[in-house]
Structure 1
Amino acid sequence: RPGSQKSAVHGHVQPFSDEDASIETLSHCSSFSDTTSVADEGGEASEDTAQEDFQYKLKGFIDSTVDKSAKTRQGALDGLKTAMATRILYEFISERRMTITDSIERCLKKGKGEEQRAAASLACLLCIQLGSGIESEEVFKTLKPIFKNILADGSANIQARQAVATSLGLCTLVAEDDILDVHATMECFENLFTRSYARVDGTCPLISPQTSQLHTNALLSWALLLTICTASQLKDILRKHLPKLPRLLESEDVNMRIAAGETIALLFELARDMDSEFEFDNWEELCDKLNALATDCNKHRAKTDKRKQRSVFRDVLKAVEEGDFQPENIRFGTERMTIDSWVRKRTYDAFREFVGSGMNYHLQGNEFIRDVFELGPPMLVDSATMKAMKISRFERHLHNSAAFKARTKARSKFRDKRVDVGEF
């Protein structure tokens, strides 16, 4: 397999530090492509050398993901995660995607908590780098059954299950080629977060903080996949889940309360997109509950939790009462993007969780992420980068031309409000 040869780097591999990452991100050699070509005019050998050194380091990480030492494997996974979060590495990764997938599979199956967590995150970053198409579908087909097994296994490491709950959601958004499989994955998440519902008498089930975090992650991934559901699926979900979701607002866990509030706001937005006259039977009762959380003065709750909660629930209340969203501008390079809906916010937050401080960089140069947010082709900075991106874009087109996406159709439904999606 390409990239599977052993490099000269053995033993313990130091992951990139934050300082390395920021230097790499800002440097010239971290242009939008990992190609080693130099600009036709005035190209410098030092750029070429830096690029070779960087690739050598990455090959060392890939080799070290199969090391006998768990500490070395962990360092290698973290190193690859940092590199993929802070640079566009399509060419390099595309050639080695099956090797990297094999390593992720092995670490998920045989590793312990932290290693499994790192492997699950790396799977997501791999899909983000490859974008929607045959390549990421192949990666996901290998990893999806393992993800689902870990998620459903009550005896599995809780950290691994938490990480998988998040990664499975985003990998499905990027790489699932069947909208019915999207729905099946959503049911896996429902099986988890519904266990946090308050009982009919208002009492909450006894759940550990770690399990509550798992349920919260499952809810957020479920909400992410709502953004690509078909109209008929959404109608079923609104009927089945919207009356029960407010029970999660009773949770003792502030993060669960917030995730539930934002998911309710998202569902109201999607419902009104389909039917501007949408009405919810328990609307007044729900607004009272949201208002109580927006003005929460509970003495037994931590001040920081209350402050965070009040801010979110003021926005959620406006969304449910008035259909309002507080827009936020994101600046990156010379461009600007507006987060102007709950759909866009959930999607942006999901990607940012994996690429972190590299989000602005991916917004500039990652074609897939730019497509998701309708930003058009990357605004490129020099002729070498332009040349490289043209090559990779053409190659990607050849790879992906056969893969016509059900989810792309579903996503476009919410982008174009002129589409008639029928009555409730």
Structure 2
Amino acid sequence: MLDFAFSFRGSTREAALVKLVDAFESFMLHGLVENKYVIWLLAITLGAGSSSHEIMEESHPQLCRVLQAWSDASKMISALDCLAVITFVGATDLAETELSLKAMWDVIHPKSGSNVGTVRKPKPPVLAAAISAWTFLLTTIGSWRINTDSWKEPIAFLSTLLEADDRAVRMAAGEALALCFELKLLDVSSCEDDDGNTGGTGGSNNKLFLDMQALKAKISGLATNLSAEAGGKGADKKNLTDQRDLFQRILDFVKYGECPEESIKIAGKRDVLRVSSWSELIQLNFLKRFLGKGFLKHVKENGLLQDIFDIKVDTTETLSSTDKVTYRCHR
């Protein structure tokens, strides 16, 4: 049943999804979470609404238990991806999103969690996946109130990861920090002007401002180095090129306000998916990786993705000449 959920044949996929819904209603969720992690497919297919919200509420505790158990790397990565997508689709307020963000952050930076005893450090693939999932979900908080002071510690920790040995971790941290800049999480004055969330005295506000300025300088300096890193003997040249390109984009945004732009041809002559912000680019890259070869098919047929990327698909491209005339006459 779970394997058929990935089928490109509409009738087969629909039948599989119906069975998945029945499994949820029969409280068979634990087995699904522990084995295949295809709950995200159900959420994306259903789209935003009460059904996806219920999926998120039912599966969230199970996924968090997997993360807290620190099981094998592949299972943790699957749980992180699944938690990111079901929350992205199903969450209805900031409080629900924050629960998932915290669960992910406890993997990224275990010292900040509630677990006691020996602090466990995630392996690089898990750490990179956790940062990527956390960043993807963070793209949704833009319209909610932001307390600058609460973001100083996460941003400071992410900045240390720009010096990590693993390139995937450095790049994931770079994307996260670029989003933090775009969301103005380092912009103390603008947040304080809104509602004075920092709640301290003038002296503490000034210290926060200086701390954030120091972080900005540190991040810019490290980004400069990573954008021009030399490829030594045996270096992975493709990933090195990707790293240079990413951090050059980050520098262009931080220094000059230049937003990253990317476009993907969907179908026909006029259907193009365009992004022009870090939030959109992060969402695009995450969902492309997540859906793999099925991404374009989902974009063409899935109303949720069309809403996310504001896509208006030109349905006339697939019509016959006679049907096109009929379509235009009835517009």
Measured against the shorter chain, the TM-score band is: 0.7 to 0.9
Q: 1:222 to 1:236 in 2, by over 3 A?
A: farther
Which of 243, 252, 266 is matched with 1:309 structurally?
243
Which of 12, 19, 22 is matched with 1:99 structurally?
22
The answer to whether residue 170 in structure 2 is matched with residue 257 in structure 1 is yes
- Cα distance per residue 1:88-125 (max 9 Å; x no partner): 9886466434235456631434xxxxxx3xx11x1111
Hey, what does 1:395 align to over in structure 2? Answer: none
SS in 1 for 2:230: coil
The answer to whether residue 241 in structure 2 is matched with residue 241 in structure 1 is no
| Cα pair 2:262 2:276 within 8 Å, conserved | yes
Matched residue type, 2:46:
L
- Cα distance in 2 between the residues matched to 1:272 and 1:264: 9
Hey, what does 1:39 align to over in structure 2? Answer: none
Alignment of 1:12-411 (within 5 A): 62=1, 77-83=2-8, 87=10, 92=15, 95-101=18-24, 105-109=30-34, 116=35, 119-120=36-37, 122-154=38-70, 156-195=71-110, 211-229=123-141, 230-233=143-146, 235-271=148-184, 280-282=212-214, 283-297=216-230, 299=232, 302-304=235-237, 305-334=239-268, 335-376=271-312, 379=315, 381=318
- Cα distance per residue 1:52-86 (max 9 Å; x no partner): xxxxxxxxxx2xxxxxxxxxxxxxx3342244xx7
CA deviation after TM superposition for structure 1 residue 157, in Å: 2.5
Q: 1:272 to 1:377 in 2, by over 3 A?
A: farther
The two structures have a TM-score, normalised by structure 1, of 0.60
CA deviation after TM superposition for structure 1 residue 192, in Å: 1.2
**Percent identity, aligned pairs only?**
21
CA deviation after TM superposition for structure 1 residue 134, in Å: 1.5
Q: Which runs of 4+ in 1 moved over 6 A?
A: 272-279
- Cα distance in 2 between the residues matched to 1:322 and 1:178: 33
| Cα pair 2:33 2:59 within 8 Å, conserved | no
| Cα pair 1:328 1:339 within 8 Å, conserved | yes
| Cα pair 2:265 2:273 within 8 Å, conserved | yes
| Cα pair 1:265 1:342 within 8 Å, conserved | yes
CA deviation after TM superposition for structure 1 residue 314, in Å: 1.2
Extract unaligned runs of 5+ from structure 1.
1-61, 63-76, 110-115, 198-204, 384-424
Matched residue type, 1:245:
L
The CA RMSD measured in Å over matched residues stands at 3.3
CA deviation after TM superposition for structure 1 residue 140, in Å: 2.3
CA deviation after TM superposition for structure 1 residue 347, in Å: 0.9
- Cα distance in 1 between the residues matched to 2:151 and 2:234: 31
- Cα distance per residue 1:341-391 (max 9 Å; x no partner): 1100111122212221221221111111111112247737569xxxxxxxx
- Cα distance in 2 between the residues matched to 1:346 and 1:88: 31
Matched residue type, 2:285:
D
Matched residue type, 1:219:
I
CA deviation after TM superposition for structure 1 residue 275, in Å: 8.8
CA deviation after TM superposition for structure 1 residue 237, in Å: 4.8
Q: 1:330 to 1:275 in 2, by over 3 A?
A: farther
- Cα distance in 1 between the residues matched to 2:263 and 2:134: 25
SS in 1 for 2:263: strand
Matched residue type, 1:108:
V
Q: 1:234 to 1:206 in 2, by over 3 A?
A: same
- Cα distance in 1 between the residues matched to 2:257 and 2:83: 30
- Cα distance in 2 between the residues matched to 1:221 and 1:239: 20
- Cα distance in 1 between the residues matched to 2:55 and 2:105: 24
| Cα pair 2:67 2:76 within 8 Å, conserved | yes
- Cα distance in 2 between the residues matched to 1:311 and 1:356: 22
Hey, what does 2:324 align to over in structure 1? Answer: none
- Cα distance in 2 between the residues matched to 1:293 and 1:359: 30
CA deviation after TM superposition for structure 1 residue 273, in Å: 11
- Cα distance per residue 1:129-154 (max 9 Å; x no partner): 11011122222222211111001112
How many residues matched? 288
Q: 1:290 to 1:196 in 2, by over 3 A?
A: farther
Matched residue type, 2:94:
I
The two structures have a TM-score, normalised by structure 2, of 0.76
